[in-house]
Structure 1
Amino acid sequence: MLGHILYLATLGVLIGSLNVVTLHDDAQGAILALGVIGLWRYAWAAVNFGRAAWYQAVRYPRLRRRATAAYAGRKAAAHAYFLVTSYKIDPDVTTRVYQSAFTAAAASKGGATVVASVVDGADVRLIRSVFATMRRDMSGVRLIVDQVPGTGKRDALAKALRIISRQAPSWRDVVIFVDGDSCAPRDIVARSAPFLCDPDVGAVTTDEVAEITDTPLFSDWFALRFTQRQMMMSSMALGGRVLTLTGRLSVFRADLATDPGFIRQVQADYLDHWRLGRVEFLTGDDKSTWFWLLKNGYRMLYLPDVQSVSMERQPLPGFFASAVTLMVRWFGNMMRTNGRALALPASRIGYFTWWSIMDQRVSVFTTLAGPLSVLLATVLVTPSILPAYIAWVMLTRYVFCVALSLFRGGGFPISYPFLLYFGQIMGAAVKSFVMFRLDRQRWTRQTSAATARPAAARIGDFVSSYVHLLTLGWLTLGVLLISGLV
């Protein structure tokens, strides 16, 4: 509460100290340009807030009632296949993850099979021990432990899916993808399988919360991201297609997840780029599964009342370095996939979905244009525009956080407005970086680049940097012209 009081008091002082009359006439163009860009971004946010509220309050309850009724009419419940991947995960985390998976599997009325894909022999022993010591009836659960070489998560997923396909699952059954650091809710099968009764629905994904023992700032940042995700996923689900099927926990129709084309896309996804050539995907398996369903015309829904728990860790010691490292991975996956998604007909995937994918690219430059115009006006015209901009940022981000908090029951730490602005600006900067370097990929436990890069790769890096700087230069010139500074 004290933090909020100090924040609002500072905002009040800033607003009270402003004297609009003293702003130089030449700065009015920059203010107007900033206002137009801001109105567009805030209008887009308001649309998504409204759609999310409608989905959670009206549309989703109807979908759940209809799905539950259809599922109750089935002669047999769905058999659930849990696909869990573990690689270089702490033993205590692995124990909790598999305890939750076995508990959820035991609760599946149609029985369950847990396929554990692991690399280390110690994990094999640990998982079998956890299964043997479960304090519940496990007679309806079958455990398959698949020890694989450490050639990457995509190979592990593909092999596990082929194991599941040999069990001859039907369209009535489900495959649940679970990351090695995520805990599935006990009733995941009962809560998700009914939605897959609809033959047009190929998969569903769930809400997430993060359990973090690192710095409070890193924990707040993840909590804010998952709150934003709750809102955006609900908005997109209103149109029947979310923008990703998170690898932490998503549920697929078994006949689709074991389709040979689906498995091939997961194992060996790639992008043919006009400048970079063939870019083989290392990370982003959740984007590959999403794109396969999208291009084949399946709907993908979001379950806002089903929640998984992911146990996150800072990949690097500092908050800033950790945040940037994760954003490079996340946004790299996004940019490598949304170009080919935009090539799909809007009439097939939905016009709102198509424009939302386009906005992922447009927002890179609209987000950067605002602070860029203010900095240029501050340097070229008058510094008095800077406190006005700071007050505007503080006010709008605080209101935004208030609206976001409604999707988590209200209330938020005062770090949220600062983290929100950091995520928007730094996120746009990182997106602009990876947009021109789609061939550079990095995962916290796996990387695509060798230590010594060949001459052709170094030339490619130089060209990527040139095109990136050229684009930023055109953006700067455009801001100067639109704002009337030149």
Structure 2
Amino acid sequence: MHKSATLDRAQWRHNFCVRLFGWSLLFTCLVLLGELLDPALFDPQHQKFVFLVGALGAWRYGNAINHYLRGMYFLHWRFPAMRKAVERLGAAALPSQLFMVVTSFRIPSQTTFNVYQSVFQEIQRLPVPCTVIASIVEKGDEDLIKQIMRREVHERRDIKLVIVRARGTGKRDGLAHAFRALSRQMPSSDAVVGVVDGDTMLLPHCVANAVKFFAYLPNVGGITTNEFCQVEGDKLIREWHALRFVQRHINMCSMALSRRVLTMTGRLSFFRASVVVDPAFIKDVEADFLQHWRLGRFQFLTGDDKSSWFSLMRAGWDTFYVPDSNTLTVEHPPDSNFLRATRQLMFRWYGNSLRQNFRATRLLGVRQLGLFTMYVLYDQRVSMWTSLLGLTASLIGAMLFGAQILLAYLFWVLLSRTLVTLSMLLSKHRVDPLYPLVLYYNQILGSLMKVYALFHMDQQSWTRQKTTLSGGAAGLDQTLNRWTSKAMLASAVSLFFGAVALLLHATQS
């Protein structure tokens, strides 16, 4: 025990010194860049002032500030009041039955052990009958899960295990088989279902913290949870993932204020059992599709969390986020190379978001989504271009008007991202001096991947399962889709550069 504590203190001191050095280096770079700038660039009468702090930049940062303020209000004021009200309900807030659906496919054995151990430990704490439905492919997982149950569950005959053997054709099929098995259990009217990914460990009390809100919010059909991550990789990929979860946390809090959280996270989300056993919901998760005006009809390979959200919205349910229901996700990057790994993950995530975006705005509309949610969805389509505007314009401006333009842009990027990083301290997630650089990396590469995905919506792949879906078309149609996608992408990029040229011309006229 003493030796372990000594090692922990040594590790803490090492991490503290590394972060202190990182923050010192970051602020030193800011000062040096500021010293290199020509003061004339910051004169409000100077023509380039419009270029630096124009209306477009104010709009973009205004959106970010709006989300941040909404998120912090929800996290520090609105949600604590709701939590107190929920706890006053006492045992009446708990459902009469709980079901935990866990899907496992090609997950390392140690991770599987940790995940199921956390699931059984959580339900052991709750005085509620619970059935764990394990959707698996390999026989070895079944033996391991039964062993874990025997080890963790004691004197609880109301805790049961149901094994569902899926075909290994994807997570959607595995979920659909599990949901049908759940339907055969005939859940009660107030029962709740938790859906857990095979690489997500439940932290203490996360189930109780989440499920109690169904009694408090009768129109909420789905609740999603807060995530932390444990990444198998070097420091850069670890901090990249950690930053993503900080940003996710803030945005989830913002959208929860409107009870319009935009995704039912596949890591851990909870649903009313009456929702999950609905054949329409099961069909949405199992065989969701998009009817595209140019690419035709094609199925969703990934994005089951978006499908479940869309099904809830279409049925008139609200969605909610519980920031104190915490999970720990074990992340296995799809590639050892940072650029390739992040590119693959971004293409999958942003492709799912765009497919959902276009369908939701077309089929649901303001009545079911609300004005703010509609605005957020439309802003997602625009932000992929505006995020590239500053870099593109500064590079062209540096070639036309001198390197001071590029220096001013770099200074603004570093200053603004540092301020954003410091603001994240209020999110109750850890921050790192690498975040300003990673934020900008995400902005540029993320925008490029969004633009590419926008014109290639039929291209999908799982990063873990290595299965792909290129679209439902064949032969001539498939070739036509491929070439029209390239032509439309080239046309859109040309129009973008034309808009930047007009903007630069306007600042000089």
Which of 76, 81, 85 is 1:57 aligned to?
76
For residues 392-437 of structure 1, what are the alpha-carbon distances to aligned partners after superposition, in whole Å with 9 as ceiling and x for unaligned? 100000000000122126x632111000100111111101110111
Which of 251, 264, 280 is 1:261 aligned to?
280
Partner of 2:371: 351
1:139 aligns with 2:160: no
Which of 168, 172, 188 is 1:154 aligned to?
172
Q: Give 1:13 deviation, angstroms.
A: 1.4
For residues 286-311 of structure 1, what are the alpha-carbon distances to aligned partners after superposition, in whole Å with 9 as ceiling and x for unaligned? 00000111122211111111110100
Q: Give 1:22 deviation, angstroms.
A: 7.5
Q: Give 1:37 deviation, angstroms.
A: 2.2
Structure 1 unaligned residues grouped into runs of 5+: none
Which of 289, 308, 317 is 1:298 aligned to?
317
1:458 aligns with 2:479: yes
Measure, in 2, the Cα distance between the counterparts of 1:391 and 1:228. 22
Partner of 1:167: 185
Q: Give 1:218 deviation, angstroms.
A: 0.6
Deviates most, 184-193 or 46-55 = 184-193
Partner of 2:452: 433
SS of 1:117's partner is: strand
Partner of 2:496: 475
- Which amino acid counterpart does residue 339 of structure 1 have in structure 2? F
Partner of 1:194: 212
Within 5 Å, which residues of 2 pair with 1:34-53?
35-53=54-72
- Which amino acid counterpart does residue 407 of structure 1 have in structure 2? S
Which of 274, 279, 282 is 2:293 aligned to?
274
1:110 aligns with 2:131: no
- Which amino acid counterpart does residue 144 of structure 2 have in structure 1? L
Which of 443, 460, 468 is 2:462 aligned to?
443
Measure, in 2, the Cα distance between the counterparts of 1:370 and 1:394. 13
For residues 43-74 of structure 1, what are the alpha-carbon distances to aligned partners after superposition, in whole Å with 9 as ceiling and x for unaligned? 11111111111111221122223333446446
Contact 1:374–1:385, Cα closer than 8 Å, also in 2:
yes
- Which amino acid counterpart does residue 182 of structure 1 have in structure 2? T
Higher RCO, 1 vs 2 (CA within 8 Å, ≥6 residues apart): 1
Measure, in 2, the Cα distance between the counterparts of 1:22 and 1:104. 58
Contact 2:460–2:470, Cα closer than 8 Å, also in 1:
no
Partner of 1:32: 51
Measure, in 2, the Cα distance between the counterparts of 1:450 and 1:367. 28
SS of 1:483's partner is: helix
Partner of 2:21: 2
For residues 263-321 of structure 1, what are the alpha-carbon distances to aligned partners after superposition, in whole Å with 9 as ceiling and x for unaligned? 01001100000000002001000000001111222111111111101000111111111
Partner of 2:423: 403
SS of 2:505's partner is: coil
SS of 2:152's partner is: coil
Change (3 A) 1:186 1:412: closer
Partner of 1:390: 410
1:332 aligns with 2:341: no
Change (3 A) 1:9 1:189: closer
Change (3 A) 1:82 1:23: closer
Measure, in 1, the Cα distance between the counterparts of 2:418 and 2:32. 16
Contact 2:130–2:160, Cα closer than 8 Å, also in 1:
yes
Measure, in 2, the Cα distance between the counterparts of 1:472 and 1:462. 15
- The count of aligned residue pairs is 484
1:127 aligns with 2:145: yes
For residues 440-481 of structure 1, what are the alpha-carbon distances to aligned partners after superposition, in whole Å with 9 as ceiling and x for unaligned? 001111423479974432331111011011111111111111
Which of 216, 220, 242 is 1:223 aligned to?
242
- Which amino acid counterpart does residue 33 of structure 2 have in structure 1? L
Deviates most, 341-350 or 228-237 = 341-350
Change (3 A) 1:239 1:450: closer
Which of 193, 208, 233 is 1:214 aligned to?
233
- Which amino acid counterpart does residue 378 of structure 1 have in structure 2? A
- Which amino acid counterpart does residue 206 of structure 1 have in structure 2? T
Partner of 1:249: 268
Measure, in 2, the Cα distance between the counterparts of 1:475 and 1:450. 27
Partner of 2:381: 361
SS of 2:107's partner is: coil
Change (3 A) 1:77 1:18: closer
- Which amino acid counterpart does residue 482 of structure 2 have in structure 1? D
For residues 106-128 of structure 1, what are the alpha-carbon distances to aligned partners after superposition, in whole Å with 9 as ceiling and x for unaligned? 22322110000011111111112
Measure, in 1, the Cα distance between the counterparts of 2:225 and 2:42. 49
Supply the RMSD in Å over aligned alpha carbons.
2.3
Q: Give 1:20 deviation, angstroms.
A: 3.9
- Which amino acid counterpart does residue 61 of structure 1 have in structure 2? P
Measure, in 2, the Cα distance between the counterparts of 1:111 and 1:269. 32
Measure, in 2, the Cα distance between the counterparts of 1:280 and 1:144. 29
SS of 2:451's partner is: helix
Measure, in 2, the Cα distance between the counterparts of 1:37 and 1:167. 55
Measure, in 1, the Cα distance between the counterparts of 2:358 and 2:477. 24
SS of 2:225's partner is: strand
1:484 aligns with 2:469: no
SS of 1:301's partner is: strand
Change (3 A) 1:50 1:112: same
Structure 2 unaligned residues grouped into runs of 5+: 1-19
> Could you tell me the percent identity over the aligned residues?
36
Measure, in 2, the Cα distance between the counterparts of 1:28 and 1:309. 50
Which of 404, 412, 425 is 2:431 aligned to?
412
Q: Give 1:42 deviation, angstroms.
A: 1.1
Measure, in 2, the Cα distance between the counterparts of 1:2 and 1:200. 49
